[in-house]
Structure 1
Amino acid sequence: MVFVLYSGIRRRTDRRVGQAAAVVAGEILIFAANGFHCPLTPLARRLGDPTGSVTDIYLPTWFAHNLPAIHVPLIIIAVVLHARNLKSAGAGFSGGPPRGAEGRHG
Structure 2
Amino acid sequence: MVAIKTFHTAAWFSIEACVCYVLYTGLVGRTNRHVGTAAAVVAGESLVFAANGFRCPLTELAERYVAERGSVTDVYLPDWFAHNIPAIHAPLLPLMAYLHLRNLRRASARGQSLRR
TM over 0.5: yes
Report how far residue 93 of structure 1 moved: 8.4
Moved over 6 A (4+): none
Structure 2 residue 45 is the aligned partner of structure 1 residue 27 = yes
Larger helix fraction of residues: 2
2:74 to 38, 54, 75: 54
Using a 3 Å threshold, how does the CA distance of structure 1 residues 31 and 82 change in structure 2: closer, same or farther? same
Measured on the aligned residues, the alpha-carbon RMSD in Å equals: 1.9
Report how far residue 89 of structure 1 moved: 0.5
- Structure 1: runs of 5+ lacking an equivalent: 98-106
Structure with greater Cα Rg: 1
* 8 Å CA contact retained: 1:43, 1:52: no
Structure 2 residue 81 is the aligned partner of structure 1 residue 69 = no
- Structure 2: runs of 5+ lacking an equivalent: 1-18
What residue is the counterpart of 1:94 in the other structure? 113
TM-score of the superposition, structure 1-length normalised? Answer: 0.79
Q: How many residues matched?
A: 95
TM-score of the superposition, structure 2-length normalised? Answer: 0.73
